[in-house]
Chains A and B, each alone.
Chain A
Amino acid sequence: MPLLTVEELSIQFGGILALDGVGFSVDEAEIVSIIGPNGAGKTTVFNCLTRVYDPMKGSIRFMGRDLLKMRPHQVVANGVARTFQNLELFSSMSVLDNLLVGQHSKIRYSALDAFFRLPRQMREERKARSRAEDTLELMELTQVRDIPVHALSYDLKKRVEIARALVSRPKLALLDEPAGGLTHEQVDSIARIVRGIRDELGVAVLLVEHRMGLVMDISDRVCVLDFGRKIADGTPTEVRRDPAVIQTYLGAPHVDA
């Protein structure tokens, strides 16, 4: 059974169908990419998955649970973590603190434990810190650990976004344009990182990305959206040969790869 199953997902904004019966699935430790022109509904899929938006109809099942029954803050505790295309980092906080907030649902103590610094709080904080350190090391961010995020370069911020999602040890990571705005070398390191997420951490990845080279290179499967509809679904090779996809991308037979 797949890790994530999305069926018949539809949502409307002011009379426009942003998603129209979209369905796809993600298996365990698989990299699935969602591609499509601007406004095709890619980020909207993410926002439905993480409950920012309420779809009109459709179902989202993750590890046998109905994600649509959850409130937005409960999604991450169930094993789905995300990043944001336009960075939603906590910019005044240090990189380490960002990763501690990323574990908010994992850390178990009350405000009262915090007030009086009870043993339970100390124990949980120690565990959270060591998980954060591990993730920092994995993402090669240890050097900037104590620097406030607003002072970091753009590509480092992008990496903190991914680290903050991974630190909660999700089963599925939703990465929204992790390579957007990066240089060629930086895109290569993102490719390495995303593969590492799957191969070393065993985490499935759902990727929204415009860089076709990256998508075709690392995806196990690709799902193509256009105007809120799914027009193709398959391995990178299959999708590249799909007539509907070629049509959407202005007839270019080999998309940038």
Chain B
Amino acid sequence: MFLVAFPFLHEWPFFRMFLSEFRTFNATMFAVWLLVLLGMNLLTGYSGQVSFGHAALVLASAYLTAVLSQQYGFPLWGAIGLSGAATALVGWVTIGIPAVRLRGPYLAIATFGLMLAFPQILKLNVLTQWTQGALGIRGGVVGPPGFLGGVLDGRAWMYYVAMSVAVAMTVLFVNLTRSRTGRAFVALRDSEVGAEQMGVDVPRYKALAFGVSSLYAGIGGGLFFAVQGFVSPDSLGLIDSIFFLVAIVIGGLGSVLGSIVAALFLTFQSEAISALAGFVPGTNNLRNVFYGASLIAVIVLFPKGIAGFFQRPLWPKLREWNLGSLWSSRS
């Protein structure tokens, strides 16, 4: 699946001859959203815990990166790594462990509360010396290292960094989901008591899912600041948390391909809806109607998400009819 992303690496500069430079920025944001949504999908799609607080985690990490790099002189990439690790720790210990006791709608409400509170906390006066209050923090210009200076501009460099991180972390994600740990996440989603009796320490794994999910949100948040060059308390809010959830459901829960589709959705949604509304003259103020209608259409047509649609109908049938009969004739 991650191979799909691979050709982009080579082809993008080539495509740039046809496409505007803005597309490079789109692709960079795609990489950022992919990280965030992989994390979101791990938590909700794989381990079955619903969070309305993910935008707060992303925002927190973006702020931490901003403060570390702009005020304490950390190198930007170091600051992103550190913020990712810190977010993972916060998600694991201070959210994941208490959240173990909360299920379904209760967890959703608790994380919703976190999401509501966080932007205002960023504006608190006592924190202004770090957060700059409502003004937010501006980042410096990020350019490629010297030896690449002639080949790449800042935008292309940022694209390569973000995309490499996203691809690498997608590979790690696939590794994790195909391991004992990943299977335990899905098992406790499908049957908590079943998982527990098979030896899965359910509370521990629920918290771990929160931790790993937060790591992805954190790295995504750090890159978010680097890419945008700016972060303020209003950069991300409740609506983004909801969009993250919408995106992974539309893309496909519990699937890497689903997360990729989700990231595409998040990157291009407003543009696509504008284009859709543009087709029919005089409907510009009906954008949200188009948007809502297409969400409903996708959910009805693809109940398992868009990725689920592409993965499902083919495989079981192929296996049953061809391979299945091969096996039975052998045994």
Q: Pick the contact of B180 from A93, A104, A164 — CB < 8 Å?
A: A104
Residues of A within 8 A of B328 (CB): 143
Q: Given that A116-B172, A143-B324 are contacting pairs, would A104 and B198 also be in contact in the complex, using a CB cutoff of 8 Å?
A: yes
Q: Given that A89-B191, A92-B254, A101-B195 are contacting pairs, would A114 and B331 also be in contact in the complex, using a CB cutoff of 8 Å?
A: no
Does B194 contact A151, Cβ atoms closer than 8 Å? Answer: no
Residues of A within 8 A of B187 (CB): 90, 93, 101, 104
Interface pick from B60-68, B152-160, B200-208, B242-250: B200-208
Residues of B within 8 A of A77 (CB): 199
Does A164 contact B190, Cβ atoms closer than 8 Å? Answer: no
Q: How many residues of A contact B (CB 8 A)?
A: 46
Q: A127 CA to B18 CA in the complex, in Å?
A: 51
Considering only CB atoms, which chain B residue lies closest to A150 in the complex?
B190
Considering only CB atoms, which chain A residue lies closest to B193 in the complex?
A88
Interface: B123 (CB within 8 A): no
Residues of B within 8 A of A116 (CB): 172, 175
Q: A91 CA to B195 CA in the complex, in Å?
A: 12
Does B194 contact A89, Cβ atoms closer than 8 Å? Answer: yes
Residues of B within 8 A of A90 (CB): 186-187, 190-191, 194-195
Residues of B within 8 A of A145 (CB): 327
Interface: B138 (CB within 8 A): no
Residues of A within 8 A of B190 (CB): 89-93
Give chain B nearest CB distance to A164 CB in angstroms.
7
Residues of B within 8 A of A169 (CB): none
Q: Pick the contact of B175 from A50, A97, A117, A142 — CB < 8 Å?
A: A117
Interface: B70 (CB within 8 A): no
Interface: A63 (CB within 8 A): no
Does B198 contact A114, Cβ atoms closer than 8 Å? Answer: no
Q: How many residues of B contact A (CB 8 A)?
A: 35
Interface: A13 (CB within 8 A): no
Residues of B within 8 A of A52 (CB): 193, 196-197
Does A168 contact B327, Cβ atoms closer than 8 Å? Answer: no
Q: Which of A71, A84, A88, A97 has the most CB of B within 10 A?
A: A88
Interface: A12 (CB within 8 A): no
Does A111 contact B197, Cβ atoms closer than 8 Å? Answer: no
Residues of A within 8 A of B254 (CB): 92
Q: Given that A90-B187, A104-B180, A125-B179 are contacting pairs, would A148 and B316 also be in contact in the complex, using a CB cutoff of 8 Å?
A: yes
Inter-chain residue pair count (beta carbon < 8 A): 112
Q: Which of B187, B189, B212 has the most CB of A within 10 A?
A: B187
Q: A76 CA to B197 CA in the complex, in Å?
A: 7
Interface: B79 (CB within 8 A): no
Interface residues of B in 153-176 (CB under 8 A from A): 172, 175-176
Q: Given that A73-B201, A104-B199, A115-B176 are contacting pairs, would A93 and B186 also be in contact in the complex, using a CB cutoff of 8 Å?
A: yes
Interface: B132 (CB within 8 A): no
Does A75 contact B197, Cβ atoms closer than 8 Å? Answer: yes
Give chain A nearest CB distance to B206 CB in angstroms.
12
Does B176 contact A111, Cβ atoms closer than 8 Å? Answer: yes
Q: Pick the contact of A151 from B184, B208, B316, B327 — CB < 8 Å?
A: B316
Does A111 contact B208, Cβ atoms closer than 8 Å? Answer: yes
Does A168 contact B199, Cβ atoms closer than 8 Å? Answer: yes
Interface residues of A in 38-92 (CB under 8 A from B): 50, 52, 71-77, 81-82, 84, 88-92
Q: A181 CA to B53 CA in the complex, in Å?
A: 44
Interface: B235 (CB within 8 A): no
Residues of B within 8 A of A81 (CB): 198
Residues of B within 8 A of A114 (CB): 175-176, 179-182
Interface string of A159-170 (1 = CB under 8 A from B): 000001000100
Does B172 contact A107, Cβ atoms closer than 8 Å? Answer: no
Q: A93 CA to B196 CA in the complex, in Å?
A: 16
Interface residues of A in 137-151 (CB under 8 A from B): 142-148, 151
Interface: A227 (CB within 8 A): no
Does A88 contact B197, Cβ atoms closer than 8 Å? Answer: yes
Q: A111 CA to B208 CA in the complex, in Å?
A: 9
Give chain B nearest CB distance to A185 CB in angstroms.
19
Does B179 contact A101, Cβ atoms closer than 8 Å? Answer: no
Does B181 contact A73, Cβ atoms closer than 8 Å? Answer: no
Interface: B183 (CB within 8 A): yes
Interface residues of A in 185-240 (CB under 8 A from B): none
Interface: A135 (CB within 8 A): no
Residues of A within 8 A of B180 (CB): 100, 104, 107, 109, 114, 124-125, 128
Give chain B nearest CB distance to A226 CB in angstroms.
27
10 new A-B pairs (CB below 8 Å) besides A92-B254, A100-B183?
A: A75-B197, A76-B199, A90-B195, A97-B183, A105-B198, A114-B181, A115-B172, A116-B172, A117-B175, A128-B180
Chain A residues packing against B (C-beta within 8 Å): 50, 52, 71-77, 81-82, 84, 88-93, 97, 100-102, 104-105, 107, 109, 111, 113-117, 121, 124-125, 128, 142-148, 151, 164, 168
Q: Which 10 A-B pairs have the closest CB atoms?
A: A114-B179, A88-B194, A105-B199, A90-B190, A104-B199, A88-B191, A76-B199, A101-B187, A111-B181, A73-B201
Query: Can you list 16 A-B contacts (CB < 8 A)?
Result: A52-B193, A89-B194, A90-B195, A91-B190, A102-B198, A104-B187, A104-B198, A111-B176, A114-B175, A114-B176, A114-B180, A143-B328, A143-B331, A145-B327, A146-B319, A168-B199
Chain B residues packing against A (C-beta within 8 Å): 172, 175-176, 179-184, 186-187, 189-191, 193-202, 208, 212, 254, 316, 319-320, 323-324, 327-328, 331
